[in-house]
Chain A
């Protein structure tokens, strides 16, 4: 007879005031290894380009050295792009982790809840009407795309939340309302694609696929600030999320104030997704896949927030690198690559968990 399994190995507890976390070793290792990989991929991404640099040179420039031209290439061109990739990936991963934990459904990503499609309508409207239809012109048409997408994403998120509110929020109803809203916004986006001429449609298509081309510091700063504020908030809120995986009565029995916790976390997730989408477009699949990948790597019951953010960041940075390396002179939008890289990995996880089930 086998001895009974011991419980999860705990590294101990971290306490800050009333809040405390149990530190499990496996999620922590996932985060640590992931961060190292993100740094490495980010450095590679900065090194690669028309003006190639060695990894040593990259580190040198980032520490304040290097020639003037090297500083320009690194600090003005490639660092903001790499940072946008890292931040957007982290924001989408974290956002997806929160949505999936609250809705208790792995399919509940910002895509399904209408946030990214709301952002899409905003951006594609500006692109279409700035183009052949000419109703939006000048600087409004360039600044307008991220602003319109942010507004569209937030609006769709709040609309979903408001419509799903009925003496409280229930995960099941939230997801269904989200599907309704994203169906409208998604179809409006497709319709707008048929309205303008094919040049506008191509520009809009690049945007709704998600692209990091030409991202500068003005894209980095908003996402970076949002992450700086919202990641700590998410970690504090995660204690409540852990409880939300049980059914509502159990949660009330545990003494968690349900709707307050859910509202705060949902709002946080919507803002993360909207800010990320405003910076790079709705990069496909990151918000859906990162939490699922992180969950399996970390062996937790619900998607680990930090792990999901790190996996998301790694996925986007690596995909951006691939999008620039893989196709010779042609650079595909990063969203194409996240889908084409991320999807098979999720498939592999599905097949592998099937094998494990056989043993």
Chain B
């Protein structure tokens, strides 16, 4: 039944900001002041901008209504494999807003920001200790930025010894950012196949190693949700060939407190703070991607970084980078990294402690295996028979009815009130479904998810055509992504911007 407004009780339609606001409306009051346009160098703006304004109540409603069209970890299970959506403790938000952290300028005199520098040092210390690595670069802004940081350290180290190597080897199962990062750092990328057990093919890797290989980028635990048991042998072979091991630490949450990557011969590894240390993902970021480094790479770490000198914390920048830092590859971001994320991560680290983080990994792995074993009788689990998974369980669409795909199953999960799992990734499995529950799910929530998944999977195997129509109950039915790409509409265009400023 249609309603006049298009709303359905608590499910409210919300127009675009530009359709409800106007250039004359504002939700902010300013004190009286005397305008002065004397110093603008004849560049005063005469054309309108076209920015719609809202009064405060209208704005609060607009965004609150929009928020209700989002699924979020606060609403329920968010089992995106390799993306790791876990509960975000609100204490983290509270401490990140303490004025000393939230309201400090990046260029304040060093003595006025000792607490901020100490906090960066504290988080860095946890990261090096947990990974068994001697050094850490805190400034990368996100996981992929961290990958770039690690590769640039490797490249700088190779260049320092006069060794120009051109190739980076990336296993097939790697995150899509790995090859893109290697290319961005100026390397040629070559793929290394996965073996039948979903791991790096060690022999293929050894055969390819040679004097032209700068680094191997490995994800461990890998994107099939599996630990690479040959990691030490891989590292030894890579080092013997004069190359470095980059480990994509996106899945560190599965082994934190249980295994130190440094013990396995890793030279550089980024850590996505939102995955392992619960900084909120915010609908797409911000992230933070500190990189831990081996002794061989530490001298090449980017500026700036924090160092303790006596009882004072110092920010090593271009001017102070002497002797032992002279080989730094430079600066990769304007200021000091994602301070707001460090604060949240620190809160999470201190709350869990060394013992709690170990429990985090254990519960994450237990929950993932519980899902794997509860569904593998019904769904094809390509690597299930070879042993336990780590933080995520991988299934394929094998055995689905004619014309039904992973996509249909995912969209049907939406109607059951769950966010779907990661789809079609990793690429090594057909119609892949990667489910990561994380440690913050209760057994009851896992059981409910499993029951829903089972029921939909049974329908998919039976060829239930109605799945193709899902979702039925979401704020929108299936969206036409082809149309969006073929005729891109990226900004709102109908309203003509005002032509004259007031």
A binds B: no
Give B residues with C-beta under 8 Å from A.
none
